[in-house]
Amino acid sequence: MGENLKEEGYSMEQDQEVGGKNYSRCSSAGSTHTPNSSAHNSDDDDDSGDARHSAANSNSTLNLSYKERRRSAHTQAEQKRRDAIKKGYDSLQELVPRCQPNDSSGYKLSKALILQKSIEYIGYLNQQKLKQEDEGAALQKEVTALRIIQSGYETMLQHQQANPGPKEARLTDEAKFQVFQAIMEEMFETFQHIPMDNFKQLTSGIIPWLEEHCKPHILRNILSRTLQQMAQEAQEKQQLQQAMEQEPGESFS
DNA sequence: GTTCACCACTAGGAGGCATC
DNA sequence: GATGCCTCCTAGTGGTGAAC
């Protein structure tokens, strides 16, 4: 309705006619509420009456015309202001999902409800924003941890490619697996103490664990122990084999 | 001093709801 | 159905402070 008023080039005269003819709800107020019907106009009525009674008084006439001009301009300005406010409410109702009608009946919320629901929606959006920021921070930590792990593996790979070692000194696949198994079993002993009640606890616990239990000297010790153990087992196996080879000869002698 | 924007007040219509 | 009451909305107007 307000938009219509604006589109039609609203003026006081038009208001009183257009309002009465076209607008079912707000119209009648505009149509019947002529300037002289307002309680505020009692003083003006007196002024205009004085002006009529003393038509020769040019000052009074000028004063009256000024008042009328001012009143007219003021009325238009107020109408413009109310249109802007109404547009604001309409925009709010379009933008805020909870303010939108859920059927095609043209149902419209009151201005108070539009404000109230808009405030609720802004609060909801603020909560969503905080939640997403938390999730983003957790994911960022995870990315950092994975990049560190990736960097470690790349360094190891480069080192291995640069220094493959003598062919005879290289480990067999079975030996590599035993080393890997030994390292992982020992790592798991400490890794299982990381709190894992939720994903956030897990991701935030990985970095301290890496710094505490994945130090080079620790890995080196594990590797050394494992290789020593493997060498000892190989030696014992070799001795056993030699003994078995010697036993048949001794029995015959 | 004038203009502009805001606010408060008043008047009145429209619609919903309860009561008779 | 008529009526009264309440709520919501719109419009006109005067007052007022800030900006020009």
Count the helix, strand and coil residues of chain A and give each as a percent rounded to the nearest 5.
80, 0, 20
Residue A131 contacts strand B, CB under 7 A: no
**Distance CA A40 to C1' B10 in A:** 8
Q: Is the pLDDT of residue A37 over 70?
A: no
Q: What is the pLDDT of residues A57-108, one digit of tens each?
A: 344 444 556 777 777 778 878 888 788 788 888 788 788 887 776 545 556 7
Which residue places its CA closest to the C1' of nucleotide C11? Answer: A30
Q: How far is the CA of A25 from the C1' of B15 (A)?
A: 9
Q: Is residue A148 part of a domain?
A: no
Residue A189 lies in a domain: yes
pLDDT at res. A144:
93
Q: Residue A53 — very low, low, confident or very high, per pLDDT cuts 50/70/90?
A: very low
Digit-coded pLDDT (tens) for A107-119? 677 787 888 888 8
Residue A127 belongs to some domain of the structure: no
What's residue A12's pLDDT?
29
Q: Which of residues 28-47 of A touch strand B (CB under 7 A)?
A: 28-29, 32-33, 37-40
Q: For residue A226, say whether its CB is under 7 Å from any atom of strand B.
A: no
Structural domains of chain A, count: 2
Which helix or strand (DSSP H or E) is residue A208 part of? helix A199-213
Do residues A33 and A19 lie in contact, with contact meaning Cβ atoms separated by under 8 Å?
no
* Position A40 confidence tier, pLDDT thresholds 50, 70, 90: very low
Give, to the nearest 10 degrees, the angle between helix A199-213 and helix A111-162.
Answer: 30
DSSP A107: -
pTM score, two decimals?
A: 0.48
Per-residue confidence (pLDDT) for residue A65, from 0 to 100: 66
Span A182-202, pLDDT tens digits = 888 888 888 888 887 777 777
Q: To the nearest whole number, what is the mean pLDDT of chain A?
A: 68
From the C1' of C15, which residue's alpha carbon is nearest?
Answer: A40
Does residue A82 sit within a domain?
yes
Task: Please report, rounded to whole angstroms, the spatial distance between the CA atom of protein residue A26 and the C1' atom of nucleotide C1.
Answer: 26
A252, pLDDT greater than 60: no
**Residue A24 in this model has a pLDDT that exceeds 70:** no
Span A212-229, average pLDDT = 80
In a domain, A103, yes or no: yes
Name the nucleotide with the smallest C1'–CA separation from A75. C12
- Res A179 pLDDT > 70: yes
- Let me know if residue A20 belongs to a domain: no
Residue A99 lies in a domain: yes
CATH of the domain at A82: 4.10.280.10
CA–CA distances in Å: residue A109 to residues A13, A210, A236? 31, 57, 89
Q: How confident is the model at residue A126 (pLDDT cuts 50, 70, 90)?
A: very high
Domain that holds residue A234: 172-242
Q: Strand C nucleotides below 7 A of a protein CB?
A: 7-15
Region A1-7 average pLDDT: 29
| Domain-embedded: residue A183 | yes
Q: How far apart are CA A225 and CA A240, in angstroms?
A: 22
